[in-house]
Structure 1
Amino acid sequence: MRLGEMSCVILCGGKSSRMGQDKSKLKIKNQTLIEFQVKKMSQWFKNIYVSVKEDKFDKQFLIIKDDPKFQFYSPMIALYSILSYFKNQFVFILSVDSPNINEDEILKMFAFLEEDYKIIIAKTSSYKHPLCGFYHSSLASICKEFLEKNEQKIGLLFSQVKTKFVEFENENTFLNLNFYKEYEKFKSELK
């Protein structure tokens, strides 16, 4: 399989409580952060989907909605809903607030798809990045089991299935725009 034949899903369903406003709608170079991410990921993936609780983008993107039987906010719900949407394939998952990810990082993780892993995610010296990597759709049932037990942490999957943590040195590549000052800094560095 080639990277260009695969799908990418950008997560936009969180509450953005630390940012104080919807991260996906923050402005970057005359576009929103989600438009920035979709345009960027479209360079490398065949299909780009946006994961949301509700379609807040007025049908601008291909949408995967969170399963409505789960009414709370959780990355595990998003992951379950995404993986349930796809059949027998890997999908690349990326949080909307990780704008520094580029082709080099994606290809480094992609290289492990031919091995026997079900999850391939980025790892830096200080953090595992569960919302940046490849997940196999067969994991949907395990995600559902966790949700039914009210277990919300995606990291719980790592002990259940064969997972590859791909090592990266540059922490800034995996920057998350959680706070307004991080967003302002990212914007200023783009100029």
Structure 2
Amino acid sequence: MELKELNCVILCGGKSSRMGEDKSKLKIKNETLSEFQVKKMSHFFKKVYISAKEDKFNQQFSLIKDDLKFQFYSPMLALYSIFSYFKDEFVFILSVDSPNISENEILKLHSFLKEDYRIIIAKTKSYKHPLCGFYHSSLKNLCEEYLKKNEHKIGLLFSQVKTKFVEFENEDAFLNLNFYQEYEKFKSEFK
């Protein structure tokens, strides 16, 4: 399946507790981080959606809201809600705070779709990056099982389904803006 036939979902529903303010609304030049990510990913994918607890963007984006039967912040809940929206397809999942992901990383991950994996995520020497990769929507029921057990770590899925960890050398591509200093540094280097 071609990249342009697939959808992308940017996760914007976290609490941003380490940042101290909503990461999705941080400004990069004259746009928010959400606008920046949606615009960039729109070049590669059929459609780009935002995942969040509520519409904090005034209908600016195509929104996938967290399922209201669960009242907590959780990446597992975001995945469950996303997989409830899509039927039998791969979706590219990316956190809003990973602004350096480029077409190169996406294409390398995409190259493994033709194999029999249900999850394909990036891995660097330091970390696995569960919020940068392709997930199959058939994982919905498994996500729901974990939510009912109050389990929220996405890594739990990796041992349950066939998962590919795609190795990358460049740690910089997987920068996460978790702290205000990281955001300030990124903003000052952004051209």
What residue number does 1:108 align with?
Answer: 108
User: In the aligned structure 2, how far is the partner of 1:25 from the partner of 1:138?
Assistant: 31
Map of 1:17-28 to 2, 5 A cutoff? 17-28=17-28
SS in 2 for 1:150: coil
Q: Aligned runs of 1:78-93 on 2, under 5 Å?
A: 78-93=78-93
Which residue type is aligned with residue 41 of structure 1? M
What is the one-letter code of the residue matched to 1:166? V
The CA deviation at 1:125 is 0.6
Find the counterpart in structure 1 of residue 58 from structure 2.
58
Query: Deviations for 1:1-28, whole angstroms, at most 9, x for unmatched residues?
Result: 1001110000000010100000010000
Partner of 2:123: 123
C-alpha separation between the residues in 2 aligned to 1:174 and 1:22?
A: 20
Output the CA distance in 2 between the equivalents of 1:53 and 1:136: 21
Q: In structure 1, how many angstroms separate the alpha carbons of the residues matched to 2:22 and 2:109?
A: 29
The alpha-carbon deviation at position 84 of structure 1 amounts to 1.1
1-side partners of 2:59 and 2:190: how far apart? 28
The aligned amino acid for 2:18 is R
Q: Give the TM-score of the pair, scaled to structure 1.
A: 0.99
Q: Deviations over 1:9-67 (max 9, x none)?
A: 00000010100000010000100000000000000001000000001000000000000
Residue 178 (1) aligns with residue 140 (2): no
> Any idea what SS the aligned residue of 2:141 has?
helix
Q: How many residues align structurally?
A: 191
Confirm or deny that 1:150 pairs with 2:150: yes
Equivalent runs, 1:3-18 vs 2, <5 Å: 3-18=3-18
Residue type of the partner of 1:169? E
Residue identity opposite 2:132 in structure 1: C
Q: What is the Cα deviation at residue 146 of structure 1?
A: 0.5
CA distance in 1, matches of 2:184, 2:3: 32
User: Could you say what the CA RMSD is over the residues aligned between the two structures, in angstroms?
Assistant: 0.5
Consecutive unaligned residues of structure 2, counting only runs of 5 or more, are none
Three-state SS of the structure 2 residue aligned to 1:107 is: helix
Q: Which amino acid aligns with 1:180?
A: Y
TM-score, normalised with respect to structure 2:
0.99
Stretches of structure 1 that go unaligned for 5 or more consecutive residues are none
Q: How does 1:36-55 map to 2 (within 5 A)?
A: 36-55=36-55
Classify the secondary structure of the residue corresponding to 2:181.
helix
